[in-house]
Amino acid sequence: MSPTQLLSTSISSTSSAFLAAPITFKARNQNVSMASKKPSICTCVAVPQEQKNVYTTQVSRNANIAKLQAGYLFPEVARRRNAHMLKYPDAKVISLGIGDTTEPIPEVITSAMSKARLLFRAEALSTLEGYSGYGNEQGEKPLRTAITSTFYGDLGIEDDDIFVSDGAKCDISRLQMVFGANLTMAVQDPSYPAYVDSSVIMGQTGQFQKDFEKYGKIEYMRCTPENGFFPDLSKVTRTDIIFFCSPNNPTGSAATREQLTRLVQFAKDNGSIIVFDSAYAMYMSDDNPRSIFEIPGAKEVALETSSFSKYAGFTGVRLGWTVVPKQLLYSDGFPVAKDFNRVICTSFNGASNICQAGGLACLSPEGLKAMSEVIGFYKENTNIIMDTFNSLGFNVYGGKNAPYVWVHFPGQSSWDVFSEILEKTHVVTTPGSGFGPAGEGFVRVSAFGHRENVLEACKRFKQLYK
Amino acid sequence: MSPTQLLSTSISSTSSAFLAAPITFKARNQNVSMASKKPSICTCVAVPQEQKNVYTTQVSRNANIAKLQAGYLFPEVARRRNAHMLKYPDAKVISLGIGDTTEPIPEVITSAMSKARLLFRAEALSTLEGYSGYGNEQGEKPLRTAITSTFYGDLGIEDDDIFVSDGAKCDISRLQMVFGANLTMAVQDPSYPAYVDSSVIMGQTGQFQKDFEKYGKIEYMRCTPENGFFPDLSKVTRTDIIFFCSPNNPTGSAATREQLTRLVQFAKDNGSIIVFDSAYAMYMSDDNPRSIFEIPGAKEVALETSSFSKYAGFTGVRLGWTVVPKQLLYSDGFPVAKDFNRVICTSFNGASNICQAGGLACLSPEGLKAMSEVIGFYKENTNIIMDTFNSLGFNVYGGKNAPYVWVHFPGQSSWDVFSEILEKTHVVTTPGSGFGPAGEGFVRVSAFGHRENVLEACKRFKQLYK
């Protein structure tokens, strides 16, 4: 494999180093007997060399995917980071960009996945007693029960409303398959890019309108300092689906109980479905709802997706869940949960049993305590970053209830600010405009990082902006 | 949680017992402090009790999902099995139905996931040095390299053509998102239900036509004993996509090199794309191609999806891959791989890093040897089942190159045979008609089972049919 090929394999939002030395492997396996055999006959269909590059099928490319602008945001950020690292091979690049967790998974949780704790261990998979094959597509009952009691204890959510998944991002696309191409949707502007991009892919949107930096047919609910990052619902057009993330990625703001009550009423008045993303709920410091289901009547107009990624450092382990209350009905009275279950059973085979064992450990008293400590550490990082930008006279938002700091650079282009910070401090951030047009002029600084890196990054920010 | 609720949670294709005692957990977590708080205000939106069940949103149900008939096949089989177990609580029910693996994962593989072997260990996730967060959506390079060299050594597939996933079933739906609603597709009849069901969900099909037991707009390529389970391509209408599984699930038949050469030529003549499912390739006994890419020119008309599930007992661990050669182009010359990568980055966050470490161990020399032994064990089961039905005078197909035996019951209804076998022998099989109309009159018997269960099941078959 040539270096250029190796380079070309690195299309990705991040690079993980936990596996190494491909060459060893290639060398080892090249002699393996069951490797495929060279074809012996039928040169009849062999295509002459010069034609190889010109043959195209007669299959039309999906016009919806062709609507997508550039790459998905985070791979784009990663590409620019990688280009920077090639330009400055000796620079100590610090990434406060894509919001990837950096602190170790608490041992009480990994041991459940690897040693002999709790109800499951990986070794057991190599024993007759411990082996398990296909699990329930919806997740193992004990984990569903633990999620219900831990996060929805007295909110009337039942175990069979919980669908365990390999992450909220994955469930968002499965939800889009459930909704189909003909529904209309609204998103907070700015918002996590997966909502919009998955809508584009499913064909729910029009073309991208360069002048507005928006896709047609999507309702962008503007969230800025002027409205306290909560949309003016009186100006929001009715849509079938409303994606709403609180605590919010990227702005770091959290909606109050009163605001979410208005949102639920708005959905009820319009007969809309709220897809509530609570992936950062455990970062909440204020007394705001951690679940949409804390709002009376929400079960009839909302479903909720969440994740272990930012609680237990499971970004690479992959585990999340979605709550679809049986009270949530389509206009014809059919339960949304039944269609979601059908898509789960057709397009998914359940989260890894090993990861589910880890999730169960996360929700044990020890696991909850350990997760709180990890979250507390990142919240300290958040304070350090907020203090830094405040001391430099910037208007800084978010942070208090989320691991993201939303820094305002009025009148500047987010990508320009991103590039200047990267060029002059070797720190990777995320340009606000990547989350939507209302993010223009902002940069998102993630609090996920080792303490010394966060301190070093803040030192460089102070040098740059003093 | 009431018993009825517990019962209602068991919608699933299988039941796994590796996690237990939900009650303990619920009890433990009910006192956890961060559990959601009761809402204090806004009874304004609280809906009176009597209205609770009548409120519907104004969101229309996805008409495509409404086309789906009954449940996904395997959950349907599981429901009937569970009903049978309630009817005969003391019966020793043996499942040779859904094709779930039963033998332990070789220790050399689990230890890579759980102890300190190879390049990764779960404990390392609880160390600063060993921790990794988001991985490459496409999979870790060493695993992609190992898959290339192990399965596609000299076929011109490159590492960046490999996309690691959480299973072939999941990738099939992601491929459908890439293809979109406007492409036409063909499937072998009978075939693995996920191809058709995911097409229905994506809106590629018409309504289900009860008279033919077929969905409109899908080309069903009849595969029966008469044509050696390879379709008469002269009678197949041109479609954009051709799903083709060899060794086949459910018929157990494998296409020869000559047959696959004709298939590739057929695709090339029509400008179609073959989605080749090679999930059972390692079960091949004959000298048939284990990959479509053994056929010259296939890279321009085919992609291939595969899985560790049936090789390493990873049905519950979840790991697979899809090969999309950069030579595969849409009619406008755009590479299919680029759109697949875009969907992967938007709808997926990579397979679990723990499972990828296990996959890497699978492809070490020791892992390959261990997988071959597990496969050999299941192939012995297959022989036992084939000998049994042969000795009873049935026409038996498949088996030799796949872990499935396809038994003919001429003139009978598959579901009737399924029910009679379950009722009289307490053995769960899978009705052939569940895989397509050409499967009517057949029953699929899976070779995945403990030896004593397979022997016991065969004893009961002999008592029933002697």
pLDDT in tens, A392-451: 999 999 999 999 999 999 999 999 999 999 999 999 999 999 999 999 999 999 999 999
Put simply, the answer to whether B56 touches A271 (Cβ < 8 Å) is yes
Q: How many domains does chain B have?
A: 2
pLDDT at residue B3 greater than cutoff 50: no
Q: pLDDT-based confidence at B123, cuts 50/70/90?
A: low
pLDDT at residue B68 greater than cutoff 70: yes
Put simply, the answer to whether A113 touches B124 (Cβ < 8 Å) is no
pLDDT at B287: 96
Put simply, the answer to whether B39 touches A179 (Cβ < 8 Å) is no
Residue A6 belongs to a domain: no
Q: pLDDT-based confidence at B128, cuts 50/70/90?
A: confident
Q: Say if residue A97 is in the same domain as residue A112.
A: no
Average pLDDT, chain A: 87
Put simply, the answer to whether A134 touches B353 (Cβ < 8 Å) is no
Put simply, the answer to whether B39 touches A158 (Cβ < 8 Å) is no
A356, A164 in Cβ contact below 8 A?
yes
Average pLDDT value for residue range B213-231: 97
Q: Say if residue B117 is in the same domain as residue B254.
A: yes
Question: Which residue, of B349, B364, B379, is where some domain finishes?
Answer: B364
How far B88 CA lies from chain A's nearest CA (Å)? 23
Interval B266-316: pLDDT, tens: 999 999 999 999 999 999 999 999 999 999 999 999 999 999 999 999 998
pLDDT at B71: 67
Residue A4 belongs to a domain: no
Residues in chain B: 466
Residue A180 belongs to a domain: yes
Residue among A126, A241, A353 minimizing CB distance to B18 = A353
Q: pLDDT-based confidence at B40, cuts 50/70/90?
A: very low
- A12-16, A138-142, B161-165, range with the lowest pLDDT: A12-16
CA distance A81 to A77: 6
pLDDT at residue A462 greater than cutoff 50: yes
pLDDT at B78: 86
Residue among B132, B327, B368 minimizing CB distance to A316 = B132
pLDDT at residue A143 greater than cutoff 90: yes
Q: Which residues of B touch A61 (CB under 8 A)?
A: 330-332, 334, 339
pLDDT at B184: 97
Interval B232-257: pLDDT, tens: 999 999 999 999 999 999 999 999 99
pLDDT at B53: 59
pLDDT at residue A465 greater than cutoff 90: yes
Q: Say if residue B216 is in the same domain as residue B201.
A: yes
Q: Say if residue A389 is in the same domain as residue A453.
A: yes
- A25-34, A218-227, B189-198, B372-381, range with the lowest pLDDT: A25-34
Average pLDDT value for residue range B193-204: 96
pLDDT at residue B210 greater than cutoff 50: yes
Q: pLDDT-based confidence at A33, cuts 50/70/90?
A: very low
Q: Which residues of A touch B128 (CB under 8 A)?
A: 104, 450
Q: Say if residue A71 is in the same domain as residue A135.
A: no
In chain A, the percentage of residues whose pLDDT exceeds 70 is: 86
Tell me, rounded to whole angstroms, the distance of Cα B320 from its chain centroid. 10
Interval A317-371: pLDDT, tens: 899 999 999 999 999 999 999 999 999 999 999 999 889 988 999 999 999 999 9
Q: Say if residue B254 is in the same domain as residue B384.
A: no
pLDDT at residue B105 greater than cutoff 90: no
Query: Within 13 A of B361's CA, how many CA atoms are on the CB side?
Result: 26
Residue A279 belongs to a domain: yes
Q: Residues A187-212, buried b or exposed e (16+ Cβ, 10 A)?
A: bbbbbbbbbbbbbbbbbbbeeeeeee
Q: Determine the structural domain holding residue A208 and report its residue range.
A: 107-364
* Residue of A99 and A180 predicted with greater confidence: A180
Residue B173 belongs to a domain: yes
CATH code for the domain in which residue A83 is found:
3.90.1150.10
Residue A72 belongs to a domain: yes
pLDDT at A192: 95
Q: pLDDT-based confidence at A205, cuts 50/70/90?
A: very high
Burial of residue B70 (CB within 10 Å: 0-12, 13-18, 19+) is exposed
pLDDT at B457: 97
pLDDT at B120: 46
Question: Which residue, of A364, A387, A411, is where some domain finishes?
Answer: A364
Q: Say if residue A252 is in the same domain as residue A183.
A: yes
Q: Which residues of A touch B448 (CB under 8 A)?
A: 133
Q: Which residues of B touch A43 (CB under 8 A)?
A: 296
CA distance B206 to B194: 16
Put simply, the answer to whether B126 touches A134 (Cβ < 8 Å) is no
How far A356 CA lies from chain B's nearest CA (Å)? 9
CATH code for the domain in which residue B198 is found:
3.40.640.10
Residue A288 belongs to a domain: yes
pLDDT at A435: 96
Interval B319-372: pLDDT, tens: 999 999 999 999 999 999 999 999 999 999 999 988 998 899 999 999 999 999
Find the closest chain B residue to A274 by CA distance: B57
How far B393 CA lies from chain A's nearest CA (Å)? 33
Put simply, the answer to whether A148 touches B26 (Cβ < 8 Å) is yes
pLDDT at B212: 92
In chain A, the percentage of residues whose pLDDT exceeds 90 is: 74
pLDDT at B252: 98
How far B24 CA lies from chain A's nearest CA (Å)? 9
pLDDT at A272: 98
Residue A23 belongs to a domain: no
* Residue of A5 and B390 predicted with greater confidence: B390
Residue among A145, A290, A291 minimizing CB distance to B22 = A145
Average pLDDT value for residue range B147-156: 97
Interval A94-135: pLDDT, tens: 999 887 888 888 877 877 776 533 344 456 677 777 777 778
CA distance B130 to A105: 10
Residue among A39, A109, A145 minimizing CB distance to B294 = A39
Alpha helices in A315-450 (DSSP H): 336-347, 353-362, 365-391, 414-425
Q: Which residues of A touch B315 (CB under 8 A)?
A: 133-134, 349
3-class DSSP state for residue A245? strand
Put simply, the answer to whether A352 touches B166 (Cβ < 8 Å) is yes
Q: Say if residue B112 is in the same domain as residue B85.
A: no
Put simply, the answer to whether A148 touches B19 (Cβ < 8 Å) is no
**CA dihedral (B193, B73, B285, B376) positive or negative:** positive
Tell me how crowded residue A20 is: count the other CB atoms within 10 A of its CB.
13
Put simply, the answer to whether B360 touches A137 (Cβ < 8 Å) is no
How far B222 CA lies from chain A's nearest CA (Å)? 23
pLDDT at B306: 98
Average pLDDT value for residue range B157-178: 97
pLDDT at B122: 57
Put simply, the answer to whether A45 touches B261 (Cβ < 8 Å) is yes
Put simply, the answer to whether A98 touches B155 (Cβ < 8 Å) is no
Q: Say if residue B129 is in the same domain as residue B99.
A: no
Q: Say if residue B236 is in the same domain as residue B269.
A: yes
The 3-class SS string of chain B reads CCHHHHHHCCCCCCCCCCCCCHHHHHHHHCCCCCCCCCCCCCHHHCCCHHHCCCCCCCCCCCHHHHCCCCCCHHHHHHHHHHHHHHHCCCCCCEECCCCCCCCCCCHHHHHHHHCCCCCCCHHHHHCCCCCCCCCCCCCCHHHHHHHHHHHCCCCCCCHHHEEEECCHHHHHHHHHHHHCCCCCEEEEECCCHHHHHHHHHHCCCCCEECCCCEECCEEEEECCHHHCCCCCHHHCCCCCEEEEECCCCCCCCCCCHHHHHHHHHHHHHHCCEEEEECCCHHHCCCCCCCCHHHCCCHHHCEEEEEECHHHHCCCCCCCEEEECCCCCECCCCCEHHHHHHHHHHHHCCCCCHHHHHHHHHHCCHHHHHHHHHHHHHHHHHHHHHHHHHHHCCCCEEECCCCCEEEEECCCCCHHHHHHHHHHHHCEECEEHHHHCHHHCCEEEEECCCCHHHHHHHHHHHHHHHC
Q: Say if residue B381 is in the same domain as residue B413.
A: yes
What does DSSP assign to residue A39? P
pLDDT at B114: 67
Q: pLDDT-based confidence at A224, cuts 50/70/90?
A: very high
pLDDT at residue B6 greater than cutoff 50: no
pLDDT at B104: 81
pLDDT at B24: 30
Q: Which residues of B touch A291 (CB under 8 A)?
A: 36
pLDDT at B19: 38
Q: Say if residue A380 is in the same domain as residue A398.
A: yes
How far A465 CA lies from chain B's nearest CA (Å)? 31
How far B252 CA lies from chain A's nearest CA (Å)? 20
CA distance B125 to A115: 13
pLDDT at B102: 83
pLDDT at residue B42 greater than cutoff 90: no
Q: pLDDT-based confidence at B16, cuts 50/70/90?
A: very low
How many Cβ pairs closer than 8 A exist between chain A and B? 641
Question: Which residue, of B343, B364, B385, is where some domain finishes?
Answer: B364
Q: Which residues of A touch B149 (CB under 8 A)?
A: 25-26, 29-30, 35
